[in-house]
Structure 1
Amino acid sequence: MRSPHCCPLVVSLLLGTVALFPGRPAAAADGASGLDAAAGASVLVARLNDDAAVVARQYEKLRHESETQRSIASRDEKLLVRARTVTTALHKDLGRIARAQYRQSGGVSYTSLLPDSTRELMQTHDVLARVDLAVAYAVARSRQAETRLTRERTRASARWRALQKQYGVLATRNRTVQTKLDVARAVLQRQADAAAATRTCRGAVHLQQPRRRIGHPWVTPVEGYRLSAGFGSGGSHWARGHTGQDFAVPIGSPVRAVGAGQVVRVTCGGAFGMEVVIKHAGGFCTQYAHLAAVTVDQGDRVKAGQWIAQSGTTGNSTGPHLHFEVRSTPAFGSGVNPVPWLAARGVKV
């Protein structure tokens, strides 16, 4: 059943998205330009998915940088301990030398503590002076290293604390986005179920396509998936062997054309719920089923990687996923195993 409160809910979500990301185009403006509530829900889910991906990338970048800073601080701490140990040892040696010189009225240099056999090799004043200078230089270098390491450790620790603070900001933003996304997905699926129940397709929702170029003629139908039911597997929701490969993804995830072709079918209702069928060069067809929205119309030409739909759980479905089939004809029952078919075209799933 379609909730009588779905439109106000979508509007409130849109306004909330504007408040969270003021620098982005407001989805509410799209609604004002003529998009119906269903299209508004699709657009909102797509944008929130994008926002969630941005937050995830920022979080991963912060995590990597934080680990780097923590490693630097830990390394500097170990080096500092080592430098202090060296400095302490040198100070003890200097103290021992000074005491020896004092006992002998200052007439003994640092080298007086060296073994007699070695001291006998150092007969000239020039050599003795250089040894004394070397000891003093080592002490100075050790102190400089200790000062530098202390400064670097302090800086790395401060940077790590700042990153932890940014973590908190990102975590709050992520919770806000995910809350809005969960509600928007529920609205989108509710509208999709209502359309599938009446077998009435709402028409294509035109979403902004990704800007990155696809460098391969074939791609996977979704990204960020988990493989679930495979081709030929048994199950209570199909009378015979499973006719495709299922990709578990959240509701509203972008569904892509695996290759260039022409849309030959867009239908709603029945066991597959909302579905799109594309015919490719060579005669093979691919089917994308259990959708929540479609972004193409029958007869459209599509490219590899182009968004053609949003995933859902319409029809005979136990949860959000994309049911993907490869057929030798557009008709049901001519399916082949999608995994080796894609592999033969350079796509590993």
Structure 2
Amino acid sequence: MRSHCRRFLVVPALLCALTLLMARPAGAVGDGEDIGVGDDLGLSGQVVRLYADAARATERYETGRQEAEGQRAEAQRIEALLDRERREIGVLREDLGRIARAQYRTSGGMPLTAQLILASSPEQLMRGQQVFSQTNMAVNNAIEKSRRAEAQLVKDEAKAAAAWRRLEKRNAELAELKRDIEEKLEAARWQLQGQADASVAAGSCPGAVRIDRKQKKFTSAWVAPLKSYELSAAFGSGGQRWANRHTGQDFAVPIGTPVRAVGDGRVVKVSCGGAFGMEVVVGHTDGYYTQYAHLASVAVDQGERVDAGQWIGQSGTTGNSTGPHLHFEARITPEMGSAVDPVPWLTERGVQLG
């Protein structure tokens, strides 16, 4: 009868994978930025911390899932080998049956007294006894070998099944951890957005939220305003949301996503009212300006110097916005109405979007 655990026969590899998974450190992930958020930074800090926790949990979960898939494929390969071994054992047992039947037909199974009486000569008796002994020994050895193999098979199946259960349990724990963090993150995002909406309605910014982080050293002078994103409304596109044409490039991202300055410069404007909601405008050393709008929080103050890649706020959906995104503009002056297409503007500076 087949064991229901047969597909799990991959003991050493599974145990190794389980050990590595459970011992995996929760190191920093992402683009190399080291984030340290204290408990006193309010919702902005909580959102950033939860983003990092969710990223680590997701990475660990995906690693565990991929390892489990690899072990499942290995188990299936070993199962095929075991099926072949079982077929070979079946053939051996058929051979043993034939040997036993042949032994019986040739008097190999007769009592020693009967063989003494019926033997025509001592030589015949000795030959018969020798054949009987050799056959008996071969049969006994084969049976013992089969018994040991079957016993080891049962042990290996039990070990492999236990290892697989531990691995599946660990994956389930990681998935639950990921879900819990994502639920907390979603709640914190909308709380953060609620605070931002209140500030915009009052027309006053709450002040920069400083997040303790180690600045990543970028090798280029210009970077994209977000680490990961999906491009949405493009420059010059039409629609009912804009009086004329869209004046920037939109990046679809969840509320609370860290927004970066695309280049070195100085903050020339921090505003919390109007169609753009909570916004930051940065003047760069080449004479151009960039705007970051519909934010949920700001991390800089007006007049402050910023470096390329420095966090200047968190994305949101304040002002005239139909959903969470970053509205990004490249301008000739700090004021609206002087925007140029930001995609080729960034391309000229070595930043490819998409």
User: Bigger shift: 311-320 or 207-216?
Assistant: 207-216
Residue pair 2:265, 2:283 contacting (<8 A) in 1 also: yes
Q: Deviations over 1:179-235 (max 9, x none)?
A: 332332222112211211222122111012256543443332123322221222112
> Aligned partners of 1:168, 1:309: CA distance in 2, in Å?
35
> Aligned partners of 2:196, 2:343: CA distance in 1, in Å?
28
Q: Secondary structure at the match of 1:326?
A: strand
TM superposition shift of 1:173: 2.6
> Aligned partners of 1:146, 1:324: CA distance in 2, in Å?
68
Residue of structure 2 equivalent to 1:120? none
Residue pair 1:231, 1:338 contacting (<8 A) in 2 also: yes
Residue of structure 1 equivalent to 2:44? 42
Closer, same or farther in 2 for the Cα pair 1:337/1:82, shift >3 Å? farther
TM superposition shift of 1:317: 0.5
Q: Secondary structure at the match of 1:234?
A: coil
TM superposition shift of 1:275: 0.9
Residue of structure 2 equivalent to 1:165? 169
> Aligned partners of 2:76, 2:347: CA distance in 1, in Å?
45
Q: Secondary structure at the match of 1:308?
A: strand
Aligned length, in residue pairs:
291
Residue of structure 2 equivalent to 1:205? 209
Q: Deviations over 1:282-341 (max 9, x none)?
A: 223221100011101122222222211011111111111111112233232222222333
Q: Deviations over 1:136-179 (max 9, x none)?
A: x9999999988877766654443332122123323333333233
Residue of structure 1 equivalent to 2:62? 60
Closer, same or farther in 2 for the Cα pair 1:169/1:324, shift >3 Å? same
Residue pair 2:316, 2:324 contacting (<8 A) in 1 also: yes
Residue pair 2:216, 2:309 contacting (<8 A) in 1 also: no
The amino acid across from 2:353 in the alignment is K
**Does residue 352 of structure 2 align to residue 326 of structure 1?**
no
Q: Secondary structure at the match of 2:256?
A: coil
Residue of structure 2 equivalent to 1:316? 320
The amino acid across from 1:168 in the alignment is A
> Aligned partners of 1:79, 1:186: CA distance in 2, in Å?
55
User: Bigger shift: 256-265 or 305-314?
Assistant: 256-265
The amino acid across from 2:274 in the alignment is G
Percent identical: 56
> Aligned partners of 1:297, 1:305: CA distance in 2, in Å?
16
Query: What RMSD, in angstroms, separates the aligned Cα atoms of the two structures?
Result: 3.4
Residue of structure 1 equivalent to 2:73? 71
Closer, same or farther in 2 for the Cα pair 1:327/1:76, shift >3 Å? same
Q: Given the two structures, how large is their TM-score scaled by the length of structure 1?
A: 0.71
**Does residue 253 of structure 2 align to residue 249 of structure 1?**
yes
Residue of structure 2 equivalent to 1:130? none
Q: Secondary structure at the match of 1:82?
A: helix
> Aligned partners of 2:214, 2:264: CA distance in 1, in Å?
16
For residue 258 of structure 1, the aligned residue among 233, 242, 262 is 262
> Aligned partners of 1:226, 1:242: CA distance in 2, in Å?
17
Q: Map 1:138-217 onto structure 2 (within 5 A).
A: 155-209=159-213, 212-217=216-221
TM superposition shift of 1:236: 1.3
Q: Secondary structure at the match of 1:65?
A: helix
For residue 243 of structure 2, the aligned residue among 239, 245, 249 is 239
Residue of structure 2 equivalent to 1:297? 301
Residue of structure 1 equivalent to 2:353? 348
Closer, same or farther in 2 for the Cα pair 1:227/1:157, shift >3 Å? farther
Residue pair 2:330, 2:342 contacting (<8 A) in 1 also: yes
> Aligned partners of 1:214, 1:159: CA distance in 2, in Å?
44
Q: Given the two structures, how large is their TM-score scaled by the length of structure 2?
A: 0.70
TM superposition shift of 1:73: 1.8
Residue pair 1:80, 1:150 contacting (<8 A) in 2 also: no
> Aligned partners of 2:169, 2:253: CA distance in 1, in Å?
31
TM superposition shift of 1:264: 2.0
Q: Secondary structure at the match of 2:251?
A: strand
Residue pair 1:226, 1:248 contacting (<8 A) in 2 also: yes
Residue pair 1:83, 1:145 contacting (<8 A) in 2 also: no
Which has the larger Rg? 2
Closer, same or farther in 2 for the Cα pair 1:142/1:184, shift >3 Å? same
Q: Map 1:7-156 onto structure 2 (within 5 A).
A: 27-28=38-39, 30=40, 40-93=42-95, 96=98, 155-156=159-160
Q: Secondary structure at the match of 2:43?
A: helix
Residue of structure 2 equivalent to 1:288? 292
User: Bigger shift: 215-224 or 321-330?
Assistant: 215-224
> Aligned partners of 1:26, 1:225: CA distance in 2, in Å?
23
User: Bigger shift: 226-235 or 210-219?
Assistant: 210-219
